[in-house]
Amino acid sequence: MMNQNIIFGIDVSSRSSTVCVVIDRIKQGNTFTITNDSFGYQDLLDHLNQYLITPLVVFEATGVYSLSLQAFLEDYHIKYLKLNPLKAKKLMDNNLRHNKTDKLDAYHLALIQFSSPQKLQAPQPREYHELQAASRYYEELTRALIVNKNQLHRNLQSTFPQIEHILSNPSGKIYWTIVSLFPHAQYVLDMNEDQVKQRLLSISGIGRQRAQYLTARLYAFARQAYPYDRKDGITVRAIQRTISNLLSLSNERDQVINYMEKLTKVVNARALTIYLSIPGIARTTALRLIAELGDLRRFDTSAQIDAFVGIDPGRSQSGDKDSRLGITKHGNHIARKILYRVITQMETVKTTCPCHITDYYDKKKQSSHSRGYKKIAIASVHKLIRTLFALIKHNQLYDYNIATQNQRL
């Protein structure tokens, strides 16, 4: 039996929202529209205050458009149910929604809590929203870095392609600074060895012995090069601009991670310690997992986290046939990508930092009955989520010996 029988279904759009009031499955009066601003929310509050029992508000998480509504509801301590759009669509379609309009969607959103009651969750502290916003910004910066790295590679092909071999890894602040000083082979040939070495010594992280070694390599590469573009051409200017972008983006990413660490220590410092205790999870990964997964204590089971991430198995039902499909991919795709990457990171450190998850992954990979590494990796992500959930729930650090003895992890 439901304790809450007054539901406000709200269909959120970019500038306005459609509201439908339903009491005990019966629609009340006409559907009305509010603007997504302080005036519209005051109108909504007036309607909510008409009832002795505080109504429950049901709406879809429509990206940035629903955030102001959520802020209003939290500020006024109004209970709400925020649904994943794909889950909301499935629930509404299962209840025989034949037509789609804003008015009908608001009505059917309200009906969900009568026909398929969903558990309400207490809002997370606002710091978690800020953490996720920082994680998404970090993702944007990473994509921009990749674009600029590719641009740098293309431009160097016509000025000094050999310089990409100056370091074992043609990336990072030292490499970019070297290229900014010598974006064209002729820049090296126009200087004597001492001038080149002095320029290299001006770079933080390069000592005298290394500068001497790099000077010799630069001269060898410069003599080998046969540039198409001139040393005073626009391509050289483009290279230096791209390097400026790369250094700025890299520095900004470092600042974002520092900011995320400060926020995490305020809201859940213990979670960071627990995440870092797991082999293969370093500082950046731990912070981004906390940002994307939020407080795991709000979940009742690890299966709920699977669904939140989108690695729960889909199902297809038709008549008497009930088939299991691949993972749903309905959840947080960035969290899913990070978790998937953790499995790879665990593999790289397993020799010195053993983990029961890599034991499982390797055993499955070696089995002749196992096909497709991706499926094995997803199964390993399931185990990782169960491990994260158990450690957070019991406030424990990771212990390989305990994990290998616990069949549930």
Q: Are 288 and 137 in contact (CB under 8 A)?
A: no
Q: Is 149 exposed, middle or buried (0-12, 13-18, 19+ CB in 10 A)?
A: middle
What are the tens digits of pLDDT across the range 213-272? Answer: 999 999 999 999 999 999 999 999 999 999 999 999 999 999 999 999 999 999 999 999
Q: Are 243 and 235 in contact (CB under 8 A)?
A: no
CA 66 to chain centre: 19
| One domain for residues 54 and 109 | yes
Phi-psi region of 78 (alpha: psi -120 to 50; beta: other; left: phi over 0): beta
When pLDDT is cut at 50, 70 and 90, the band that residue 317 belongs to is: very low
Which of 54, 89, 123 terminates a domain? The answer is 123
Rounded to whole angstroms, how far apart are CA atoms 13 and 120?
A: 23
In a domain, 380, yes or no: yes
Instruction: Find the angle CA(174)-CA(179)-CA(181) to the nearest 5 degrees.
Output: 100
Average pLDDT, the chain: 90
| One domain for residues 295 and 395 | yes
In a domain, 36, yes or no: yes
What's the predicted TM-score (pTM) here? 0.84
In a domain, 266, yes or no: no
Q: Please give the pLDDT value at position 96.
A: 45
| One domain for residues 173 and 92 | no
Range with the lowest mean pLDDT among 36-40, 125-129, 218-222, 324-328? 324-328
Which of 94, 123, 152 terminates a domain? The answer is 123
- For residue 116, pLDDT beyond 60: yes
| One domain for residues 30 and 150 | no
Identity of the highest mean pLDDT range in 1-5, 109-113, 195-199, 297-301: 195-199
138-147 mean pLDDT: 98
Q: Please give the pLDDT value at position 94.
A: 60
Query: Which single residue is written with the structure tokens 């002749």?
Result: 368
Range with the lowest mean pLDDT among 41-55, 62-76, 90-104, 365-379? 90-104
In a domain, 1, yes or no: no
| One domain for residues 148 and 203 | yes
| One domain for residues 119 and 134 | no
| One domain for residues 219 and 149 | yes
Rounded to whole angstroms, how far apart are CA atoms 290 and 3?
A: 33
| Percentage, residues of the chain above pLDDT 70 | 90
- The CATH number for 135's domain is 1.10.287.4070
When pLDDT is cut at 50, 70 and 90, the band that residue 120 belongs to is: confident
Q: Please give the pLDDT value at position 76.
A: 95
| One domain for residues 137 and 232 | yes
Structural domain that includes position 307: 277-316+325-405
Tell which wins on pLDDT, 86 or 73.
73
The structural domain count of the chain equals 3
Tell which wins on pLDDT, 8 or 371.
8
Q: Please give the pLDDT value at position 398.
A: 97
Which of 91, 108, 123 terminates a domain? The answer is 123
Rounded to whole angstroms, how far apart are CA atoms 192 and 171?
A: 26
| One domain for residues 232 and 344 | no
In a domain, 272, yes or no: no
- For residue 318, pLDDT beyond 50: no
- For residue 314, pLDDT beyond 60: no
128-145 mean pLDDT: 97
Q: H-type helices in 95-125, by residue range?
A: 102-115
In a domain, 355, yes or no: yes
Q: Please give the pLDDT value at position 374.
A: 82
165-190 mean pLDDT: 96
In a domain, 332, yes or no: yes
- For residue 316, pLDDT beyond 50: no
Residues shown for the chain: 409
Q: Please give the pLDDT value at position 62.
A: 85
Rounded to whole angstroms, how far apart are CA atoms 99 and 97?
A: 6
| One domain for residues 100 and 151 | no
333-349 mean pLDDT: 95
**H or E segment at 278?**
none
| One domain for residues 247 and 286 | no
Q: Please give the pLDDT value at position 115.
A: 87
| One domain for residues 396 and 281 | yes
In a domain, 265, yes or no: no
